[in-house]
Every structure is written in C-alpha cells, then in structure tokens.
Amino acid sequence: MLVSFRRIIKMGWKEFSRNMGLSMATIFIMTMVISLATMLFILNPVSKKIVSDVEKRVDVSVYFEEDALEQDIIDAKTEIARIPEVKEIEYISKDQALEIFIDKHKDDPVLIESLTELGYNPFFASLNIKAWSPSQYEQVANLLETGSFKDIISKVDYYQRKSVVEKVFALTDGVNNIGLFLSVILGLIAILIAFNTVRIAIYNSEEEIATMRLVGASNSFVRGPFIVQGIVIGSIAALITFVITFALSYGLDVRLSSLAPEISIFNIFLSNLFLLLLIQLAVGIGLGVISSCIAIRKYLRI
C-alpha cells in the first residue's frame, strides 16, 4: 500500500516534470483562475468598506427652534436615545455649528465676510441621529415628529434628503448584489476554464490510460499520478498567485493611498495572509484534483 502510494507520487511528479510545456500552460491558466478568486476575496472587503463609508455619511438631523432651551434639547436627546432604532446621537449646539461652518469654509472669504456682516449666529442647535440600518430612518423621523419635544423642533432634515438617502442605499445594495452576481459568474467561468484545461491535458493521455488499464493497472493506480499532477500544478499556481497578490497589493496601495487613504489593500492582504494562502491553495489543489478526477473518469471505463 505504502509502496504503491510512493510509486504513484513518483510517477505523478515524473509526468509533471517530463511534460513541462503542458504543465506550464496548465499552471498559467490555474494562476489566472486563482488570481480571480483572490481578486474577489480582496475586492469584497474593499467594496464593503466603501459601502459602509457611504452609509456612515447618512444621518437624520433635527434642528431646534431658536428659542429652545439647551436643557430641553438635552432632555430630547436623552429621550431620542431611548428609541431602539437609534444607534448614535450627537448634540451640536449653536456655537459648535458656527465653529464647524467657519472651519469648513475658512478658505472662502466671501462666505466668512457675509457671516461677519450678518452680525449674529444664524445656525440652529441640532441633533445628528444615526440609525442601525438604512430602513429605520423613516421610522426614526416619524417618531421625532410625534414625540413630547415636537414643539421645540424647527425641522427634521430627513424628508428633504429622503430621495437622496434612498438612492444612496439603492446604490449600495446594487453594488453588493452586482458584486455577488459577478463573483458567482466569474467563479463559474474560472472553474470551467480550469476544468477544461485539465481535461485537455488528460485527453492527450487517453490512449495511455487505456493501455494502463489493459496491462492490469487498477483504476486507483491509473488515477493516482494524475491527481498528484493536479496537486502539484494547483500548489505551484497558488504560490505564484500569492507572490503576485503580494506585489500587486503593495504596488496598488502606494498608488491608491492618495485617492482613498482609508482603504488599504495591502493591509487587507496582510491581515488575511494565512487565510488568503489557504484559500489560494484550496482553490488550486481543489480544482486540480476535482478536474483530474472528473476528466479521467471517462477514460477508466475500459
């Protein structure tokens, strides 16, 4: 048993090294397939990060009447914070609102000058509310309008932004769905390409497989070396992809850091280093072995 196992490994390795041209072509295709799987793996957290960044920017603002007392607003804040749909609530006083405006527009002298000419603080105190999920904003807005503090509310800045908010969420949902759809389609294409490449490689050995059976080799003795070749090809392709991913994510990170500093592909790569290597090896070896087994099955019926 052990002798056969050793022989199968030796034969698989010899077949691999003696058919270097075909082995290299299969490794090349496998590398592309594993790269695709890796790309989907890395792009998934990137797209999730983009979507969550967009979602973070959405909130409901409640502006209070000019004569509303700060204590009443803080009471309202406490009451709103009790609403289960509310995730985060932040109080911005009139003065803070002015500071934020000045800080934001300090490079625009016309705006700053007109504010000085106005002679008073035109901003309202407000509460910025974030809900747990996008669908809860409408409920929160409704609750605000029916709460005990409704008399001191000047306006709820949700209905004005409702269509924009809905569009943003439709877009993020779309990105997620398209991502999932593309992952499935590309994954299927990748599997088919890998399978057909291995199938063509084995098709060349059709006659030899038949001869092996006719000279008394058992199915497992015939199949074994092809599976070993599948494992070798899958592993080499996975390791090549790993090196390419390392180089690409580092290179892209340097270029993207000025565009989107909060998204670091290289960090995603580093924090998932072992998982990524495992996935790449699993995809490579899995595809190699499964494709070999399916492709060879047809020729073992002799």
Partner 1 sequence: MISIQKVSKIYPSRTNQEPTCALDNVSFDVGEKEFVSIVGRSGAGKTTLLKLILANETPSKGNVIFGGKDVHQIKKSQLSCLRQRIGVVFQDYKLFNSKTAHENVAYVMEVMGADEREIQRDVPQILDLVGLGDKANNFPDELSGGEKQRVGIARALIHRPDVILADEPTGNLDPYHTHGIIELLVKIYSMGTTVILATHDKAVINKLGKRVITLENGKLIRDEEKGRFIC
Q: In angstroms, what is the minimal distance from the CB of 230 to partner 1?
A: 16
Angle, CA 34 vertex, CA 236 and CA 300 arms, to 5°: 70
Report d(CA 98, CA 121) in Å as an integer.
7
State the nearest-atom distance from the C-beta of 27 to partner 1, in Å. Answer: 17
Residue 172 CB, nearest distance to partner 1 (Å)? Answer: 54
* Shortest Å distance, C-beta 31 to partner 1: 23
Mind spelling out the 3-state secondary structure of 43-94? HHHHHHHHHHHHHHCCCEEEEECCCCCHHHHHHHHHHHHCCCCEEEEEEECH
By beta-carbon proximity to partner 1, the closer residue of 214 and 243 is: 214
Query: Distance between CA 293 and CA 146 in Å, rounded?
Result: 67
Q: Residues 153, 154, 157, 163: is their CA dihedral positive or negative?
A: positive
Distances (CA, A) of 82 to 63, 85, 127, 177, 284: 19, 9, 14, 33, 52
SS3 label, residue 263: coil
Nearer Cβ to partner 1, position 36 or 212? 212
Rounded CA-CA distance 33/189 in Å is: 9
Beta bridge partners of 130: 88
Nearer to partner 1, 114 or 204 (CB): 204
**Closer residue to partner 1 in complex, CB, 159/203:** 203
Complex with partner 1: residue 229 or 264, whichever CB lies closer: 229
By beta-carbon proximity to partner 1, the closer residue of 4 and 142 is 4
User: 199 and 292 in contact (C-beta within 8 Å)?
Assistant: no
Residues that bind partner 1 (CB under 8 A): 3-4, 7, 11, 14-15, 18-19, 207-208, 211-219, 221, 301-302
CB of 10 to partner 1, least distance (A): 9
In angstroms, what is the minimal distance from the CB of 239 to partner 1?
A: 24
